[in-house]
């Protein structure tokens, strides 16, 4: 299987390292505003918005709010100056969008933010890819991060482009890039509704995604990677081996434990791994260990 990451030797650690400066694009969106509210105590935040969003006053409590368009490379270079890590969330997120709606934000935009980050001397960019980069696989296939991309829509195609460009920038231009294939991002309240069941194999909770992005910011040993980004659901469409092993990612949530309709089915009790991790599994060495 092809690897979905390359590693590097971290630079010498500095015990008195200054707080990292982090630029979040799309900071007024659902994920961006959540991260801003959680990251401001740990990082110095620059929060990029378009300027016409409704929650800008609240965002101002968490960092410096700046305005820019993804099409403006010069402005993006300005905003990336002095930044350690860019968390790039800004995009058209509509899986049903047509090419003309995707070209500027999802193709030109990701090119511009990566070039701007490289030009400004940023250490890393974390790209918001999507499960849609691999939704072309059959429903009975669990996708590993190293499997070939297989988008199920044009939106997914743009995420494949972002992943490929991110690898080029890391391997050939020296800008560390991590792409996260984010699943169905839903609050705990939304995940408890009956409608969330159709996304049970793709759910990622806000706090799990926050944890994963934070680990990506701090992982100095990774040069490039594509990581699947889901919660620890009982039945996941995407395999989480790489972020668990390379980053220490430890998701806290499982939709089968919090959704009332799924919880009552007791999947943890009735659908087991069939190995020593099951609580009532008896060791085959029991006689010889006496």
- Block residue for tokens 């759910």: 203
Tokens of 140: 């009975």
- Block residue for tokens 């434990």: 257
pLDDT at res. 15 = 53
The whole model's pTM is what?
Answer: 0.94
**CA 25 vs CA 128, 226, 267: distances in Å:** 10, 19, 38
Q: Which residues of 226-251 are buried (b: 16+ CB within 10 A; e: fewer)?
A: bbbbbbbbeebbbbbebbeebbebeb
List pLDDT tens digits, range 129-160: 999 999 999 999 999 999 999 999 999 999 99
pLDDT at res. 94 = 97
How much of the chain, in percent, has pLDDT values that exceed 90? 85
- Block residue for tokens 């099951």: 278
CATH of domain 5-270: 3.40.50.720
List pLDDT tens digits, range 166-203: 999 999 999 999 999 999 999 999 999 999 999 999 99
Crossing angle of the two packed helices 109-120 and 154-173, in degrees rounded to 10: 20
**Does residue 188 contact residue 205 with C-beta atoms inside 8 Å?**
yes
pLDDT at res. 2 = 75
**What CA dihedral angle connects 12, 16, 18 and 20, to 10 degrees?**
50
Strands 5-7, 222-229: pairing is antiparallel
pLDDT at res. 235 = 95
Task: Tell me the residue ranges of DSSP E strands in 158-240.
Answer: 176-182, 184-185, 203-204, 222-229
Neighbours of 93 (CB within 10 A): 19
- 1 has pLDDT over 60: no
Distance CA 52, CA 69 (A): 12
Across the chain, mean pLDDT equals: 94
CA 159 to chain centre: 12
- Block residue for tokens 């009982």: 234
pLDDT at res. 13 = 62
The stretch 122-128 carries a mean pLDDT of 98
- 12 has pLDDT over 80: no
- 268 has pLDDT over 90: no
How long a stretch of residues is the chain? 290
How much of the chain, in percent, has pLDDT values that exceed 70? 95
């Amino acid at each position: 299987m092809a690897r979905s990451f390359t590693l590097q030797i971290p630079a010498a650690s500095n015990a008195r390292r200054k707080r990292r400066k982090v630029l979040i694009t799309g900071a007024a969106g659902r994920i961006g505003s959540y991260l801003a509210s959680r990251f401001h105590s740990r990082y110095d935040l620059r929060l990029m918005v378009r300027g016409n969003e409704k929650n800008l006053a609240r965002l101002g409590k968490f960092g410096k709010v700046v305005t820019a368009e993804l099409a403006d490379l010069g402005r993006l270079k300005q905003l990336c100056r002095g930044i350690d890590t860019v968390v790039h969330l800004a995009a058209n997120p509509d899986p049903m969008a047509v090419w003309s709606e995707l070209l500027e934000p999802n193709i030109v935009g990701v090119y511009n933010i990566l070039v701007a980050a490289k030009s400004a001397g940023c250490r890393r960019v974390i790209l918001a890819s999507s499960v849609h980069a691999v939704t072309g696989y059959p429903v009975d296939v669990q996708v590993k991060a190293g499997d070939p991309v297989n988008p199920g829509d044009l939106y997914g195609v743009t995420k494949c482009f972002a992943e490929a460009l991110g690898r080029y920038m890391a391997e050939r231009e020296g800008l560390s890039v991590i792409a996260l294939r984010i699943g169905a991002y839903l609050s705990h309240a939304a995940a408890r509704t009956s409608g969330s069941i159709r996304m049970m194999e793709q759910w990622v909770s806000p706090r799990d995604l926050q944890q994963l992005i934070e680990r990506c910011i701090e992982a100095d040993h990774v040069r490039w990677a594509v990581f699947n980004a889901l919660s620890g659901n009982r039945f996941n469409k995407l395999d989480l081996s790489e972020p668990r092993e390379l980053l220490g990612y430890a998701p806290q949530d499982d939709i089968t434990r919090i959704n009332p309709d799924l919880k009552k089915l007791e999947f943890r009790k009735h659908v087991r791994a069939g190995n020593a991790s099951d609580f009532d599994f008896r060791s085959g060495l029991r006689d010889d260990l006496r």
